[in-house]
Amino acid sequence: MKLKPKSNKSRIKLLHQYYSYTGFYAFVWGAIKKAFPYILGFIAVFYIVDHFFDINAALVNLTEILPVFGVLSFFFVSETLLGLIPPEIFIAWAGKLLNPWFFLSVLGVLSFGGGLLSYWMGRSITKIPSFHNYLEVKMAKQLKNSKKWGGFLIVVGALLPLPFSISCIAAGIIKFPFKSVMLFGSLRLLRFAIYGLVIFNVL
């Protein structure tokens, strides 16, 4: 009796093969191509506004004017509604306080909580009749694929410098399991810890 030779394929190669077969790469590339004009437009608007008004300086001034509760509230709203304001500004603000790691922890929890709230915002959007019909009819195939890779979507939003809120809204729209969103989304806390180690050592 001959034994089957063991596969020499690494785990990474097996994942690559799986994603190729299931159409993951084609799905991501298609999504990027569709989103690219909007991303490009947003970047253009941002740079035009920043050319006339120093956005980062204005945000830094805002953290200096507002009381601690006001800054934390503003951050939570930002992290819930699209999360377009870089959290690094708030982390740098926390680094100037008497208990920087405590406030960094608060920022991390608020960011995580804002993302979870964004998830339920995404779920609420699917209850709009016209949007629901669009998802179920025209986007059925894309929706099915998205559900396969919802975890990847959350991990990318949690760890990379991308709006975590948008990832969570998308997860809510595709009805990705909330427990999984909480699990993968908890990596957001890790990102804040890493950023804190870097930024606090620079300040």
Query: Over 50: is that where the pLDDT of 1 sits?
Result: no
Condensed to tens digits (0 to 9), the pLDDT of residues 49-107 reads 556 666 566 666 777 787 889 889 999 998 998 777 888 888 888 888 888 899 999 99
Q: Is residue 117 in a domain?
A: yes
Query: Over 70: is that where the pLDDT of 42 sits?
Result: no
Range of the domain at 180: 54-202
Average pLDDT value for residue range 183-187: 91
Instruction: Tell me phi and psi for residue 53, to 5 degrees.
Output: -130, 125
Confidence of residue 188 (pLDDT cuts 50, 70, 90): very high
Average pLDDT value for residue range 155-168: 82
Q: Is residue 94 in a domain?
A: yes
The CA angle 128-133-138, to the nearest 5 degrees, is 135
Q: Is residue 144 in a domain?
A: yes
Average pLDDT value for residue range 176-186: 90
- Which range has the worst mean pLDDT, 3-7, 144-148, 151-155, 168-172? 3-7
Q: Is residue 39 in a domain?
A: no
Residue scoring higher pLDDT (166 or 38): 166
| pLDDT recorded at residue 167 | 84
| pLDDT recorded at residue 153 | 77
Query: Over 90: is that where the pLDDT of 113 sits?
Result: yes
Average pLDDT value for residue range 102-115: 94
Q: Is residue 70 in a domain?
A: yes
Q: Is residue 157 in a domain?
A: yes
- Domains held by the chain: number: 1
Q: Is residue 14 in a domain?
A: no
Confidence of residue 146 (pLDDT cuts 50, 70, 90): low
Q: Assess contact for 199 and 92: CB atoms under 8 A.
A: yes
C-alpha span between 164 and 87 (Å, rounded): 11
Which pTM was predicted? 0.69
Q: Is residue 197 in a domain?
A: yes
| pLDDT recorded at residue 182 | 93
What is the token pair recorded at 106?
A: 């608060």
CA distances from 192 to 69, 83, 89, 103, 106 (A): 19, 14, 12, 11, 10
